Amino acid sequence: MLKLELNQELVSRSRIAAQQITGAFSWLFDGYSSVSIERTVLRLMGIDGAIKGGEPLPNVVVDHLKAKSALNKGAAVWVANAMLAKGLSAQEVAEQVAGHSLCLTDLPLASAEQLLSILNPLTKTMLSHIRKQKQKREAMFAKYGERRKPAIYVIVATGNIHEDVTQARAAAREGADIIAVIRSTAQSLLDYVPYGATTVGFGGTYATQENFRIMRAALDEVSAEEKRYISLTNYASGLCMPEIAVMGAIERLDLMLNDAMYGILFRDINPKRTLLDQYFARMINAYAGIEIQTGEDNYLTTSDAIDKAFTVTASQLINESFALISGIKPDKMGLGHAYEIDPELENSFVYELAHALLTKELFPNAPIKYMPPTKFASGNIFKTHLMDAMFNFMGQLTGQGVQLLGMMTEAIHTPHLADRSLAIENAQYLFKAVKDLNQSLCLAPDSFVNQRANEVLKQAVDFLERVAEDGLFSAMAKGEFAEIKRPENGGKGLDGVFLCDKDYYNPFMQQMKQELGL
Amino acid sequence: MNKNIIRPYGDTLNDGKMQLSFSLPVSADAFGKEAARMLLLQMGFEDAEITGMRDLREGFTHFIAYAVTSTGIDTDKIKVKVVETPVMDMEATDEYISEHLSRQITVVGACIESDAHTVGIDAIMNMKGFNHRYGLERYHGFNAINMGAQVPCEELLARARAEQADVILVSQVVTQKNIHIKNLTKLIELAEAEGLRDKMLFICGGPRISHELAIELGYDAGFGTGTYSTDVASFIAITLAKN
């Protein structure tokens, strides 16, 4: 079997440094909330829909409370108070706020005990729905069998949810295990989640709860016909990270792209907002049994895959550590890695073997999300198809969890139907051809692969220890990550972060923490 | 036959052989195969042969075909617009700028409107550049301002005006439904309305952008796949020096 001889002292130092970095944020997680977290709470209370003009009701209510400087107690408190006083449902309260016939802060605040008599049953109802969705997923896997490894992951991205359904069904029938609906390119920076089924998007389809429902229903149908549970994934990222996580939990998405630092580095979202939102988003994912996937591939699309290989390892360790804080177990951590080494480099495959094995062995229980060549994909679709084959070879050889299939037309357009089909054929051929090869191979102890893996690990440890000493925010402000400077008080969405009152209350977070043992 | 007429080459001069691949909403059977063949004949191909047929499910089929075209192109009639300035490396460009302009060139760059993909603009502008070519930020001769992703056209122009920019550099990576054309047109129309068009160079880039398309849209230059910072920097320096 291919097995690295990793320096175990470095392995334990890497984890200690990562814990030191992520452990320094309890002041933020315990003391602050954000507009997106409050909107998530309202969605969990059953508030949905949008007013004329498209503004979602959760935004209307949160903005109303913010304008009254009352958000610091938590949105749940005010809505429950109005429900109690007026005998309304949460949805009716939101509608009356939107219609300007109700001002939440005009009502005298009931006692904590009275508010709990409203909030406790609501919390119980929604969390029980989410648990049922989790059980349903588990029952489907038990009935049809576990996901293959590496799982075949393909994207659909037409912009039109109904067209996406056609393409997703076709891909599932050809062998795809996971369907990702790529979001419209502008969505990560929207501070609201669009409402309803959508048919126009650019570079992807808007993530909306209705679109989630439509796609999940279509895939459930194909799952039953193909006798294979087809998983669905989307993006709990950007300014609405926890809201999208909760929509996914409600509609039974199975995976979520959910990186702790991606928004900060690559979308210029405020660091505090991002870390705070990911804390709650990941807790929801953990509670719903949703597998998260992280975005380490982004470090390599902008920097050299060999010089900066250690940044992937470092980010994986930080993502792992933040995920543990939110209650996610290793078997639901799809940490990211990418096949992005320059194909012109001699022994590019050997370098990549070292990097891929390092990822696999540092996180033996994590279903690693392995990303395909993109940087060196070109209009030469034949060459790109060949690089994708090498990537598929590597994925099977090193036992990664999820193979995000490369498309021969990667550099040209969002995949056409036939592109996706050829990608699946490519992966199935390679997976079958080298299925058990790993078991017949072993690495020479002093081989380049062993040396290289330890070298990358050493660089990652040095880097993490430096960041741990400096503090994550300070390191980001200096441009230590991805060579981009992100100051603590810069970026988008900072005005949506607020300090909680002593009597702030988020019933869902409280209950989830308790059940997750946090 | 006119010796300037060229035709596709398979293995014999002028055999006109072409390789094609496409999908149709038909079943993967004799009926579907005939549909694919007829389509090629209607397109003017001769000897259309469907060599591969793959069931894509859900009522779609993928075809791989070889066919012969009798069409030829007269090479005398080919006219292309390409960026013709020579390409210099960073040191040479910096030297050229200090010699010919004796001041820094201000470039304001962005991914405009809905486009959130900064990979292109970053490769050209950011310090680190791409594939061993440093970005404009690294040049002594450039004052490079990268505004990043999803910048509204109005904001880009306002910044360019405030900075008294010499050049506006726009990247468009997402091209679905020709959104890049709409965005690029919007920018140039706004620039004209605001009287900025002739005050600075307008340059666009992206995987589906050619110099010819850029000229057609009213830009000074366009750069496609395979462009490095050196290409863009040289063009800017030489064009501004000439003006």
Instruction: Tell whether the model's pLDDT for residue A78 goes beyond 60.
Output: yes
Overall CATH class of domain B90-242: alpha beta
How far the first Cα of chain B sits from its last, in Å, is 46
> Which among A186, A302, A413 is the nearest to B116, CB-wise?
A186
pLDDT digits (tens, 9 = 90+) for A277-323: 999 999 999 999 999 999 999 888 777 899 999 999 999 999 999 99
Query: How sure is the predictor about A491, in pLDDT bands with cuts at 50, 70 and 90?
Result: very high
Locus of tokens 């049953």: A121
| CA dist., res. B47 & res. A31, Å (int) | 74
Active-site residue flag, A272: no
B109, B135 Cβ separation under 8 angstroms: no
Q: How many domains in chain A?
A: 1
Centre a 10 Å sphere on the Cβ of residue A145 and count the other Cβ atoms it contains. Answer: 11
Using the Cβ of B27 and the Cβ atoms of chain A, whether some distance falls under 8 Å is answered with: no
Using the Cβ of A144 and the Cβ atoms of chain B, whether some distance falls under 8 Å is answered with: no
Whose CA is closest to A363, among A430, A299, A309, A318? A318
Instruction: Tell whether the model's pLDDT for residue A485 goes beyond 90.
Output: no
> Which among B57, B118, B177 is the nearest to A202, CB-wise?
B177
pLDDT digits (tens, 9 = 90+) for A393-439: 999 999 999 999 999 999 888 899 999 999 999 999 999 999 999 99
**What is residue A99's DSSP assignment?**
T
Query: How sure is the predictor about A493, in pLDDT bands with cuts at 50, 70 and 90?
Result: very high
Q: Please report residues of A whose CB lies closer than 8 A to that of B115.
A: 185
pLDDT digits (tens, 9 = 90+) for A430-477: 999 999 999 999 999 999 999 999 999 999 999 999 999 999 999 999
| CA dist., res. A161 & res. A157, Å (int) | 9
User: Which architecture does CATH list for B5-74?
Assistant: 2-Layer Sandwich (3.30)
pLDDT of residue B220: 95
Share of chain A above pLDDT 70, in %: 100
Choose the mutation target among A154, A162, A185, A424 for the interface with B, i.e. most B CBs under 10 Å: A185
Instruction: Tell whether the model's pLDDT for residue B189 goes beyond 80.
Output: yes
Per the CB < 8 Å rule, is B58 touching A413? no
Average pLDDT over residues A476-504: 93
- Six-digit token string for B91: 């040191």
| CA dist., res. A355 & res. A367, Å (int) | 16
Same fold, B5-74 and B90-242: no
pLDDT of residue B2: 64
pLDDT digits (tens, 9 = 90+) for A339-349: 999 999 999 99
| CA dist., res. A359 & res. A317, Å (int) | 10
Per the CB < 8 Å rule, is B114 touching A202? yes
| CA dist., res. A326 & res. A321, Å (int) | 9
**Nearest residue on chain A to B150, judged by CA atoms?**
A186
Using the Cβ of B115 and the Cβ atoms of chain A, whether some distance falls under 8 Å is answered with: yes
Per the CB < 8 Å rule, is B225 touching A378? yes
pLDDT of residue A147: 97
Per the CB < 8 Å rule, is B225 touching A303? no
Centre a 10 Å sphere on the Cβ of residue A451 and count the other Cβ atoms it contains. Answer: 13
Instruction: Tell whether the model's pLDDT for residue B144 goes beyond 80.
Output: yes
Per the CB < 8 Å rule, is A302 touching B115? no
Per the CB < 8 Å rule, is A170 touching B176? no
- Residue at A75 is within a domain: yes
- Residue at A365 is within a domain: no
- Residue at A286 is within a domain: no
Share of chain B above pLDDT 70, in %: 99
Instruction: Tell whether the model's pLDDT for residue B127 goes beyond 90.
Output: no
pLDDT digits (tens, 9 = 90+) for A79-134: 999 999 999 999 999 999 999 999 999 999 999 999 999 999 999 999 999 999 99
Interface A-B: count of C-beta contacts within 8 A: 75
- Residue at A397 is within a domain: no
A369, A370, A492, A505: the catalytic one is: A369
Tell me the pLDDT of chain A averaged across its residues.
96
Q: Please report residues of A whose CB lies closer than 8 A to that of B127.
A: 483
Element holding A15 (H helix, E strand): helix A8-22
What lies within 8 Å, CB to CB, of A209 at 6+ separation is A48, A193, A195, A247, A250, A251
Min Cα–Cα distance to chain A from B152, Å = 12
Flag the least confident range among A60-69, A361-370, B27-36, B165-174: B165-174
- Residue at A511 is within a domain: no
User: Residue ranges of the domains in chain B?
Assistant: 5-74, 90-242
A195, A229, A235, A262: the catalytic one is: A262
Per the CB < 8 Å rule, is A267 touching B23? no
- Residue at A481 is within a domain: no
Min Cα–Cα distance to chain A from B148, Å = 9
> Which among A173, A184, A203 is the nearest to B58, CB-wise?
A173
Q: What's CA A4's distance to the chain center, in Å?
A: 29
Using the Cβ of B137 and the Cβ atoms of chain A, whether some distance falls under 8 Å is answered with: no
Q: What is the CA radius of gyration of chain B?
A: 23
Instruction: Tell whether the model's pLDDT for residue B1 goes beyond 60.
Output: no
Active-site residue flag, A432: no
A369, A323 Cβ separation under 8 angstroms: no
Locus of tokens 């977290």: A37
What angle separates helix A209-226 from helix A241-251, to the nearest 10 degrees? 40
pLDDT of residue B114: 81
Per the CB < 8 Å rule, is B127 touching A268? no
**What is residue A156's DSSP assignment?**
E
Query: How sure is the predictor about B175, in pLDDT bands with cuts at 50, 70 and 90?
Result: confident
**What ipTM was reported for this prediction?**
0.91
- Residue at A333 is within a domain: no
3-state secondary structure at position B142: strand
Element holding B52 (H helix, E strand): strand B46-57
What lies within 8 Å, CB to CB, of A26 at 6+ separation is none
Per the CB < 8 Å rule, is A202 touching B179? yes
- Six-digit token string for B237: 């320096």
Pairing of strands B60-68, B46-57: antiparallel
Query: How sure is the predictor about B148, in pLDDT bands with cuts at 50, 70 and 90?
Result: confident
pLDDT of residue A419: 97
Average pLDDT over residues B38-54: 97
What lies within 8 Å, CB to CB, of B242 at 6+ separation is none
- Six-digit token string for B179: 């959104």
Share of chain A above pLDDT 90, in %: 93
pLDDT of residue B213: 92
Q: What's CA B113's distance to the chain center, in Å?
A: 18
Per the CB < 8 Å rule, is B62 touching A421? yes
> Which among A166, A173, A188 is the nearest to B116, CB-wise?
A188
B69, B45 Cβ separation under 8 angstroms: yes
| CA dist., res. A390 & res. A374, Å (int) | 13
Using the Cβ of A383 and the Cβ atoms of chain B, whether some distance falls under 8 Å is answered with: no
pLDDT digits (tens, 9 = 90+) for A132-166: 999 999 999 999 999 999 999 999 989 999 999 99
Instruction: Tell whether the model's pLDDT for residue B176 goes beyond 90.
Output: no
What lies within 8 Å, CB to CB, of A183 at 6+ separation is A201, A204, A205, A206, A207, A234, A235
Using the Cβ of A302 and the Cβ atoms of chain B, whether some distance falls under 8 Å is answered with: yes
Amino acid identity, residue A148? R
pTM of the model: 0.89
CA angle A391, A392, A397 (to 5 degrees): 100
Query: How sure is the predictor about B179, in pLDDT bands with cuts at 50, 70 and 90?
Result: confident
Using the Cβ of A131 and the Cβ atoms of chain B, whether some distance falls under 8 Å is answered with: no
Average pLDDT over residues A360-381: 95
Query: How sure is the predictor about A206, in pLDDT bands with cuts at 50, 70 and 90?
Result: very high
| CA dist., res. A505 & res. A99, Å (int) | 26
Residue-range definition of the domain harbouring residue A107: 33-124
Beta bridge partners, B170, equal: B110, B204
